[in-house]
């Protein structure tokens, strides 16, 4: 079923290895980095919003205490 005779044949891609793996490589890179960046952005946003929430509630407490 498998088309290739050996792993090195698979890597060589009949001479087109640079182009094929250049494509698949960049794709894999993008499809790993994108979710990671989205996830990191989410964490920083949540941290920032939590900080703002705490700062606001502290300000409120100060106002109601006076």
Partner 1 sequence: MKDRFNLYRFASPATFYPLAGAMIPYFAAVSVVFGLAGLYLGMLVAPTDFQQGEGYRIIFIHVPASWMSMFIYLVMAFWAAIGLAFNTRLSGMMAQALAPTGALMAFLSLWTGALWGKPMWGTWWVWDARLTSELILLFLYIGYMALTAAIDDARRADKAGGLLLLVGVVNIPIIYFSVKWWNTLHQGSSVNLTKSSMAETMLWGMLLMAMCFWMYSIAVAFMRVRTIMLERERNTDWVKTLLAGDKI
- Tell me which residues touch partner 1 (CB under 8 A): 1-4, 10, 13-16, 19-20, 22-24, 26-27, 30-31, 34-35, 38-39, 41-42, 45-46, 49-50, 52-53
CB of 5: closest distance to partner 1 in angstroms?
Answer: 12
Answer for the pair 10, 4: CB distance below 8 angstroms, yes or no: yes
CB of 50: closest distance to partner 1 in angstroms?
Answer: 5
DSSP secondary structure letters along 10-64: HHHGGGTHHHHHHHHHHHHHHHHHHHHHHHHHHHHHHHHHHHHHHHHHHHHHHHH
CB nearer partner 1, residue 14 or residue 64: 14
């Amino acid at each position: 079923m498998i088309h290739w005779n050996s792993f090195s044949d698979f890597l060589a891609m009949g001479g087109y290895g640079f182009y094929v793996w250049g494509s698949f490589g960049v794709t894999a890179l993008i499809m790993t980095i994108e979710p990671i960046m989205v996830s990191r952005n989410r964490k920083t946003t949540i941290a920032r919003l939590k900080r703002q929430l705490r700062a606001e509630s502290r300000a409120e407490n100060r106002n109601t205490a006076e």
